[in-house]
Structure 1
Amino acid sequence: MILDDKKRVIGKIISINSDRFTVELLSGIKNFNASGYDDIHYFAQINSYVIVPYQNHYIVSEVIGVREKDTPDFTNAKEQELSKVFSIKHLDVLPIGTIKDKVFTFGVSVYPTLYSDVLYIKDEELDALFEVLNAEVPKCNDCEKDEEKCEQHNDGLKGKTRTKSLDVGESAIFPDYKIKINIDKFFGSHSAVLGNTGSGKSCTIASMLQTIFSKDKEFFAIGSTFVIFDVNGEYKQAFDNLDKSKINVSNFSIEKKKDFEKLELPHYFLNVEEWTLLLNASEKTQIPILRNALGLATLFSKSGAEIVNIKNHILASCIIETFNSSDSPVSKYQKIQSLLTRGAFTSNIDNGYSAQYGNFTTPTQEKAFLDAINGFLLKTHFEIPSFDNTSFSFDELGGYLDLAILYEEAHGNKQIRDYCSSLITRFKSIQERTEFSFLTDKNSTTLDSFVNSMLGLKDKKKEKQVIILDLNSAEDEVVEVISTVITRLIFARLKKVENEKRNKFPVNLVLEEAHRYISNDTQRNSLKANYIFERVAKEGRKYGLFLLVSSQRPSELSRTVLSQCNNFIVHRIQNPDDLSHIRQITPHISEATLKKLPSIPTQHALIFGSAVNIPTLYKVKNAHPLPLSDNNQVSENWFVDKDHEFDI
């Protein structure tokens, strides 16, 4: 043992088990602290650390218990008091890893021997433990690679630096000691921020992003892309103070608001699954009709002789079905006339039918009309084309739905209209509801330009780093549609990138109140929204798309999404179901760590995962400005003057 180590011995190991050691403190230690040459070191606090020198490394152990050695009964109070002062103290410690050559490795494979010395831990060992060494990495002046990776240029000049780790707060155990996370491992994988309502989740996320963008020299986080689904309308003010000459924010809202761009999402960008989610279509009967209706929208937007023949076949089938229906002559006339105007029928058919207003005076006239219509029926089988996101008016979809139902009736399914009544009702409801006004018919917005706006790109240059989608006024059904469509479009864009350029453009999706639209509830329609998020959770890493999930109810979240998270920042959680759920998805975390969750103080959190070496309780760095998530000061708002104005 080196001389410095001998000076900081605090006790010896007197018991060794596979999962814990017992340390007996030296008899001269009375106040659970030792004076070192650099500071006073406190070592008997729960969640603090001690180290055990063994061979050529140190074994790091966490203090999980402090107690006195059992003593015999006392004969009087004075004897008991003296015994407390001079009694033997024990620490129960949990081995968590080793430090060798200033590098921490999680896990212990070789255990110390009985009566091994135990030392208090120093700052340089904490640096290795919390991986704060080499926080700034110099980059080559010529090619912008990290200098240790650059083999082409070696001019000895230090280039600009990039930040490798991020300061997220201070240790709850070691005063003034900064806690840092590995940027690549936290933001380069899926992560979750969990905690009760009001525990500080949005402040934690805002604080991290503000710190990322506060680097005030050399390289800035120009290449970052954070798309925030802000379902509570909290984040805009948190980024108002950013240096706009370097970092820029786009604010979108589904309603007209000051300082926000109106979010306009062309409805024809939706795929069939998203239309199913929007219209809440049932799987067995309504989805096939919806699929055909969207296919008809594609079909009727195209031209050409073959296309015209297919259109006329479908319309002719529907005309015959309508003609043979039990509707009144006037109703039949109106429907058939509408169908005739859609097709490329000869004028004598149209004029002959119109002249009679649907009422034929002789069987000969009726037969002639039906024979003419039958002449447009194709003898060969064909399929209605798939929807290809062709532009069409939202209102036109109602007509295509009716046409798809008529076509199905023409093939013998006479009950299909009743089965699809709720689908039609839902479509009409969406037509009338203002909260769906973000669905636009504008042809001027191309798919590429829309996705570029969500990624902050323009002419291959990064114009925006933070894209906030304010969904505060939106119901869950609206949030589900917007988040699902935008996530799929971004994912599809990143998947199209050529192999040599893949994973060079990281995108982080911040999913606030994620349990509202990525649900674990099998009874909810939102399971259809889960598909894209679960796919991103499983495959997004390959393409540079990462989720940052925030939720107050982890037990209601998709298990697939949460189980794919590599990092967790957990604020106070007290609900038994949520605690049990976290235990199930993080089996590698000790029970001692999980027991801390219900008692975590305000503005504190427990972080664990690949971005930190060990589970760490820390005080979250203040966000400035704060997101709009303050608690209501009820007493201040109650007790006011009688003439106080309430401006809401």
Structure 2
Amino acid sequence: MQEAVLRVGVIISVKGRTVEVVVDKSKNLPHLLYNGELIRNVSVGSYIKINKGFERIIGIIESEFITEDKSVNLKKEYKQEKEKIKRVLQIKTLGFLEGKEFNQGIKELPLIDNKCYILTKEEYDTVHNFIKEGDTPIKIGVLSSETSKDIEIGVNSLFASHIGIFGNTGSGKSYSLASLYNSLFKEFGENSGFKRNAKFLLIDFNGEYSGLNSITEKKKVYKLTTRKKIEEITDDEKLPLNESAIIDLEVISILSEATEKTQKPFIKRAIELYNLTLSKGRPQSYFIGILKNKFVSILQSKNKERAFELLDFFNNIIERHSVGFKVELLNLIEWHDNKSCFKPKRGSTYSFDELEDIESLSSYDAIEEYEFLDNKLELLIDFLYVQIIEDLLVNRARNEHISPAINKLKSKTKDLFKVINFNSGTSDIFDGENLVVVDLNEVKVDIRKTIPLLVAHKTYQKQKIAFRESRSSSLNIIIDEAHNILSYTSSRESESWKDYRLEVFEEIIKEGRKFGTFLTVASQRPSDISTTIISQLHNYFLHRLINNKDIEAIEKTVSYLDNVSFESLPILPTGTCVLAGLSAKLPVVVKMNKLDPKYEPNSQTIKLTDSWTLDHGDVIAKEEDEDYDLPF
């Protein structure tokens, strides 16, 4: 009976993984009834079994075509039109059945005349069973073509991997991200081990997940802003970052957008000077002594351009203690080109022939008034100025190569104080919760690029330490609208900074698995994201993609897709995606789980007619019923 009902046809051609099958003439109905069950007949996108001896090879039908059946006697009159044609299926082999398990890959290739069959329900379920032994399943949705078939994924195979979620705006990308992690938190959220060992950092560029219940109720949200005045922002609204976390080569390099080969070594020397100074018994007096020595060296300089350049740097250190320091100083001295040195102005009582006379300069008293700032980032900027003075005096560096890093750090300082609590006693952003959402919706563009890099880097470094101490800890970094930070085509920044920014995340995606760290990226524009990052992803959720460049980017980097799945990308309905990757064994089109509305991200498309059809009286009545304060 199985031979009669389920047989499709026989193989007539084998070209590597591509196989052609001629279909038996009785197999043209859409469904078959077998053992009381309705089974889908052969069609493009469905699976087929090829029997080669005791081997059961599984393939997917990618296309079909018809040819004239020349085996029929031409002199014979055809009884039916269908007898004139031969239906041929083009199949791509995917894997094989071994016992009650489906394995991806090629064990053996079929041979000509091997028979092909429709899968039984048991075999169909086996092919779609993605749960490895010992793993915990979570349901992510249903098969789009067979909504009665649940699609479950193993927690370890999915969340202990790098995930890519891609799709055009309105395709359900953010909804899928929320659905995946909501399913995870529903399954494990109350477990003490999960609360203790699992950490999730979500970088939210558009404020979609900072709602009270988005994904889960239990989370820590940092709703950062640079739009308010600094006095209007409390420390609880800022990211905590203590002194040890600030004065770090990598952190300062990130904040100053330092280049790897020139500016970063300079920052390293400044931090070494900072640490050396603060290790002294009287660090402030020690630093004042350094300032005095540099001041004398500047006044003794023989290069006019360099001397005034260095005075500008020195003035930046002293100006907050002595208003008009440089102006007052230049009222007493002037540059003599013929002698290439500073000399007293006419009428001045000061002589600069001896070192003692220079040290007696009255304006010099401003240096004695210097005091360390409480804010360690601003204090470090003073050390950066001292270091650049030193480097320029000994010709170790050029001003035009180093100054941009200091200027960028200074220009960001005011906004950084709005989003980071530099005086925090801790740098633990999780504050006892598993999930942290960093909402960047109200943050300036340059800070929006800096904060994710800073937070991800610091959290990853802490995770590396925690993982070495206990291999049970894990960190999932989730970046929604990832093209904002992982793009390699941005024109807003220098190439060197762009390379450095991408290197930080590329290190996480290439090395993070060894330290229990995994990256989830969601984006509308996969073509904008670094190809290194996309190619290192293990699992893909591909929603509707229309732009040719985006589709090409997926084609080049995702080797798991068959032609049918690939060609369906531009026409996928909202909420439906192609799941491909290591956790799924074969590509499947999945309709994602429907979320409880309270857990949905704030990314729904507004319904214009709802507001357009309301009149003024309807709005007043509604707001009075809900006891709202009227805005008019």
- Name structure 1 gaps, 5 residues minimum: 73-78, 138-162, 343-352, 374-389, 457-462
Measured after TM superposition, the shift of residue 294 of structure 1 is 4.0
User: 1:507 corresponds to which residue?
Assistant: 475
> Per the alignment, do residues 364 and 68 of structure 1 end up closer, same or farther by CA in structure 2, a change over 3 Å counting?
closer
Distance 1:69 1:647 in 2: 72
Distance 1:231 1:218 in 2: 28
Distance 1:431 1:65 in 2: 60
- Between stretches 521-530 and 44-53, larger displacement belongs to 521-530
Contact 2:222 2:239 survives alignment (8 Å): no
User: 1:619 corresponds to which residue?
Assistant: 591
User: 1:100 corresponds to which residue?
Assistant: 98
- Between stretches 215-224 and 484-493, larger displacement belongs to 215-224
User: 2:127 corresponds to which residue?
Assistant: 129
Contact 2:565 2:589 survives alignment (8 Å): no
The C-alpha deviation readout for 1:195-216, integer Å capped at 9, x for no partner, is 1122111111111111122239
Q: Match of 2:68, SS?
A: coil
Measured after TM superposition, the shift of residue 467 of structure 1 is 1.6
Distance 2:162 2:315 in 1: 53
The C-alpha deviation readout for 1:358-397, integer Å capped at 9, x for no partner, is 9962538964234789xxxxxxxxxxxxxxxx98433334
Alignment of 1:214-613 (within 5 A): 214-215=186-187, 221-222=194-195, 223-237=197-211, 239=213, 242=216, 248-255=218-225, 261-266=236-241, 268=243, 269-270=245-246, 271-281=248-258, 287=264, 290-304=267-281, 312-313=289-290, 315-322=292-299, 338=318, 361=349, 363=351, 367-370=355-358, 392-411=375-394, 416=399, 422-423=404-405, 425-433=407-415, 436-442=417-423, 444-446=424-426, 450-451=427-428, 453-454=429-430, 463-497=432-466, 499=468, 501-521=469-489, 524=493, 525-587=497-559, 589-613=561-585
Distance 1:98 1:557 in 2: 35
Q: Match of 1:11, SS?
A: strand
> Per the alignment, do residues 322 and 430 of structure 1 end up closer, same or farther by CA in structure 2, a change over 3 Å counting?
farther
Q: Which amino acid in 2 is paired with 1:275?
A: I
Q: Which amino acid in 2 is paired with 1:203?
A: Y
Contact 2:277 2:283 survives alignment (8 Å): no
Q: Which amino acid in 2 is paired with 1:505?
A: S
What is the TM-score normalised by the length of structure 2?
0.77
Distance 1:414 1:174 in 2: 67
Q: Match of 1:15, SS?
A: strand
User: 1:174 corresponds to which residue?
Assistant: 146
| C-alpha RMSD of matched pairs (Å) | 4.2
Q: Match of 1:619, SS?
A: strand
Q: Match of 1:612, SS?
A: coil
Q: Match of 2:198, SS?
A: coil
Q: Which amino acid in 1 is paired with 2:440?
A: L
User: 1:144 corresponds to which residue?
Assistant: none
> Per the alignment, do residues 642 and 363 of structure 1 end up closer, same or farther by CA in structure 2, a change over 3 Å counting?
same
Alignment of 1:48-197 (within 5 A): 48-70=46-68, 83-84=81-82, 88-132=86-130, 164-197=136-169
The count of residues paired between Structure 1 and Structure 2 equals 563
Q: Which amino acid in 2 is paired with 1:608?
A: A
> Per the alignment, do residues 371 and 228 of structure 1 end up closer, same or farther by CA in structure 2, a change over 3 Å counting?
closer
Distance 1:516 1:336 in 2: 34
Q: Match of 2:377, SS?
A: coil
Distance 1:427 1:322 in 2: 28
The C-alpha deviation readout for 1:225-254, integer Å capped at 9, x for no partner, is 221111111113484585x6xxx3222221
Measured after TM superposition, the shift of residue 548 of structure 1 is 0.7
Q: Which amino acid in 1 is paired with 2:175?
A: C
Q: Which amino acid in 1 is paired with 2:436?
A: I
> Per the alignment, do residues 84 and 250 of structure 1 end up closer, same or farther by CA in structure 2, a change over 3 Å counting?
same
Contact 1:321 1:409 survives alignment (8 Å): no
Contact 2:181 2:215 survives alignment (8 Å): no
Q: Which amino acid in 1 is paired with 2:93?
A: P
Q: Match of 1:582, SS?
A: helix
Instruction: Give the fraction of aligned pairs with identical amino acids, expressed as a percent.
Output: 21
Q: Match of 2:48, SS?
A: strand
Structure holding more helix per residue: 2
What is the TM-score normalised by the length of structure 1?
0.75
The C-alpha deviation readout for 1:447-480, integer Å capped at 9, x for no partner, is xxx23x43x6xxxxxx422221111112343233
The C-alpha deviation readout for 1:34-79, integer Å capped at 9, x for no partner, is 111142111223211121233333211112123444369xxxxxx9
Contact 1:204 1:623 survives alignment (8 Å): no
The C-alpha deviation readout for 1:320-342, integer Å capped at 9, x for no partner, is 414767999xx99x959949999
Q: Which amino acid in 1 is paired with 2:532?
A: T
Measured after TM superposition, the shift of residue 628 of structure 1 is 0.5
Distance 1:225 1:337 in 2: 41
Distance 1:407 1:132 in 2: 62
The C-alpha deviation readout for 1:456-514, integer Å capped at 9, x for no partner, is 6xxxxxx4222211111123432332222222222222322475x55311211111111
Q: Which amino acid in 2 is paired with 1:482?
A: I
- Between stretches 514-523 and 79-88, larger displacement belongs to 79-88
Distance 1:340 1:93 in 2: 76
